[in-house]
Amino acid sequence: MNDIDYLVDLQVNVISKGDDTVKAKTLLEVAQERTVLFDGGMGTMLFEKGLKQGDTPELWNLNYPEIVGDVHREYIKAGAEAILTNTFGGTSIKLTDSGLHDRAAEINLTGARIARSACSDENYVIGDIGPIGKILEPYGDLKEADLVASLKEQIKSLLEGGVDALIFETQIDLREAAIGVQVARNITSLPIIVSFTFNKFKRGFFTLMGNSVQDAIQGAENAGADIVGTNCGLDSHVMKDLVKEINAVASLPIYAKANAGSPELVDGNVRYAQSADEYIKDMPEYLNSGVRLIGGCCGTNPAFVMALNQLLSKRN
Amino acid sequence: MAFDKQVHYELAANSVIDGNQERAVELTQEALDNGITAKEFLDNGLISGMDVVGARFRDGDMFLPEVLLAARAMKAGMELLKPELSKTNAKSAGKVVIGTVNGDLHDVGKNIVIYMLEGAGFTVIDLGVNVAMETFISEVKQHKPDILGLSAFLTTTMPAMEKVIESLQENQLRKQVKIIVGGAPVTECFANEIGADAFAEDAGTAVIVCKKMTKNG
């Protein structure tokens, strides 16, 4: 990094983090040195706390900020060092589905502030950006300019709320992810994570849009991501093999969050098949395969993070 | 050289598989010009192409972009066939009301199923996404379909399928309609558990299952 880059970096950090001080080390710098423990599922926890199917989880940032903050605090208490804001579906385009598109800025800003105030300055707050929910032209009817505008609004609000990094997660389209990274990079020099969701086929792992592991990971790296990886879609056991494949093609620190098994319906409620113990059994192999940022996705809760914390302490 | 039906069907199927909309339209017109009936061309050409697409999608040999282009090509061909189909096909294969359940906004899979069902001669009433339980009930009352199709892409919205079925029962409508469920997280086991009549893991299977149900029903 040359001096000018450094100054820009510093400036953006100061602007974007408002009253907070600049961290001694960015998430990327820490991940280059050691493993960083992330949180578990947000939706899973909100459902437990009364979110109903069909509700918009992100609206809880405005209606029930205390409950969203509680989820963050439970994860921090379990040992998470980094937490994702409750803004997965927070683009204006995605929020159109629930008629909340004109509240996108407010939802993201508040989501970032809730997370920021739920933890200490030592913790990393990651601004969460999920897939836009529409397919880019020519396959779908989403215009690139609309995607860019919607992402820009979300990213600016998250930065204003004081996040330390951004994550594009559960991505199924390399093109959408790459556009996201470019939009983010034009606004901030904070670390950017890109995390894809893959399905397993006979021929190997592919995203829904057909990106192979190599294409997705290297494409994200070329677009300017700082950290690459995978989340959702697979249980910890199947994702173990995927992580190895990512490790073979990635040159950046790897991020991984698996689901707690497959969902089952018990008494009308969705339950995930894997216990924290089963999940943890697979984790040493993740750590041996270059994973430096680790946590849990759907179905995981603070018990999983606590078990991960114990595992990491043992290894250090 | 004389017009070869089989070759023509194969070309049409391939135009769908390749997602070549222009070619699909061209071949459809040629088929009609050469006296092939709309129904015959649809079954042996366009739909047989879409069957291949469905199978390849399931096996990971084709992905969403190609599937969307293929569906578009098939639809474009079908538009040309519609006038003749509505003339000759006075009797529909059956009536299907279909929708993505409450809380779920995904429609790609559902729409592919609709294209395939329409192609197979079913009359389909699409309720769209995020369909409230009450809407399913009122639409079943109004249209009296042979089959009700419920789709879910999210694991968290799967329970809504069960609620629709329960509500049909409460409204004394359950016996008059067969229910088929599908979508990424849905399994046969789940379908049995919630009391659905059938499950299909892909669009091609959905058509086969619906045909079977209307015959026996």
Instruction: Give the domain CATH number at B63.
Output: 1.10.1240.10
Residue type, A230: T
Question: pLDDT at position B12, please?
Answer: 97
Mean pLDDT of B35-46: 92
Interval A82-100: pLDDT, tens: 999 999 999 999 999 789 9
Q: How many whole angstroms separate alpha carbon A158 and alpha carbon A183?
A: 13
Q: How many whole angstroms separate alpha carbon A89 and alpha carbon A85?
A: 11
pLDDT for residue A13 is more than 60? no
Mean pLDDT of A218-232: 98
Q: How many whole angstroms separate alpha carbon A124 and alpha carbon A126?
A: 6
Mean pLDDT of B86-106: 82
Residues 41-100 of B with CB under 8 A from A: 59-66, 68-69
pLDDT for residue A17 is more than 50? no
* Structural domain count, chain B: 2
Q: How many whole angstroms separate alpha carbon A183 and alpha carbon A298?
A: 27
> Domain locations in chain A?
3-315
Instruction: Say yes or no for a CB contact (<8 Å) between A270 and B102.
Output: no
pLDDT for residue B72 is more than 70? yes
pLDDT for residue A146 is more than 90? yes
Question: pLDDT at position B58, please?
Answer: 81
Residues B63 and B168 in one domain: no
Instruction: Say yes or no for a CB contact (<8 Å) between A202 and B69.
Output: no
Residues B108 and B202 in one domain: yes
Instruction: Say yes or no for a CB contact (<8 Å) between B65 and A269.
Output: no
Domain-terminating residue out of B88, B112, B140: B88
Residues B38 and B104 in one domain: no
Q: Does B185 touch chain A (CB under 8 A)?
A: yes
Q: Closest partner residue to A265 among B59, B66, B158, by Cβ? A: B158
User: Confidence class of residue A228 from pLDDT cuts 50, 70 and 90?
Assistant: very high
Q: List residues of A whose CB lies inside 8 A of any B CB.
A: 43, 47, 53-55, 97, 133, 135, 139-140, 172, 199, 201-204, 206-210, 263, 265, 268-270, 298
pLDDT for residue A16 is more than 70? no
A260–chain B nearest CA distance, Å: 13
Question: pLDDT at position B104, please?
Answer: 80
Residues B65 and B153 in one domain: no
- Share the mean pLDDT of chain A: 91
B65–chain A nearest CA distance, Å: 6
> Which chain B positions have a beta carbon within 8 Å of A56's beta carbon?
none
Query: Residue B74: CB partners within 8 Å, gap ≥ 6?
Result: B16, B24, B46, B47, B49, B50, B115, B119
Question: pLDDT at position B90, please?
Answer: 52
CATH 3.20.20.330 fits A3-315, yes or no: yes
Interval A166-209: pLDDT, tens: 999 999 999 999 999 999 999 999 999 999 999 999 999 999 99
Domain-terminating residue out of B35, B56, B88: B88
Asked if A233 and A207 count as a contact pair (C-beta separation under 8 A), the reply is no
> Which chain A positions have a beta carbon within 8 Å of B64's beta carbon?
135, 139, 172, 208-210
Q: Which domain holds residue B56?
A: 5-88
> Which chain B positions have a beta carbon within 8 Å of A265's beta carbon?
158-159, 162, 190, 193-194
- β-strands A199-201, A204-206: how paired? antiparallel
User: Confidence class of residue A19 from pLDDT cuts 50, 70 and 90?
Assistant: very low
Interval A230-280: pLDDT, tens: 999 899 999 999 999 999 999 999 999 999 987 777 776 778 889 999 999
Q: What is the ipTM of this complex?
A: 0.82
Q: How many whole angstroms separate alpha carbon A78 and alpha carbon A306?
A: 5
Q: How many CB atoms lie within 10 A of CB B201?
A: 16
Give me the CATH number covering residue B189.
3.40.50.280
B70–chain A nearest CA distance, Å: 10
Interval B112-128: pLDDT, tens: 888 888 877 789 999 99
B137–chain A nearest CA distance, Å: 18
Which pTM does this prediction carry?
Answer: 0.86
Handedness of CA A236, A237, A238, A244 (dihedral sign): positive
Q: How many whole angstroms separate alpha carbon B121 and alpha carbon B43?
A: 10
Residues B61 and B164 in one domain: no
Residues B107 and B201 in one domain: yes
User: Confidence class of residue A21 from pLDDT cuts 50, 70 and 90?
Assistant: low
Residues B37 and B20 in one domain: yes
Instruction: Say yes or no for a CB contact (<8 Å) between B130 and A263.
Output: no
> Which chain B positions have a beta carbon within 8 Å of A210's beta carbon?
62-66
> Which chain A positions have a beta carbon within 8 Å of B152's beta carbon?
none
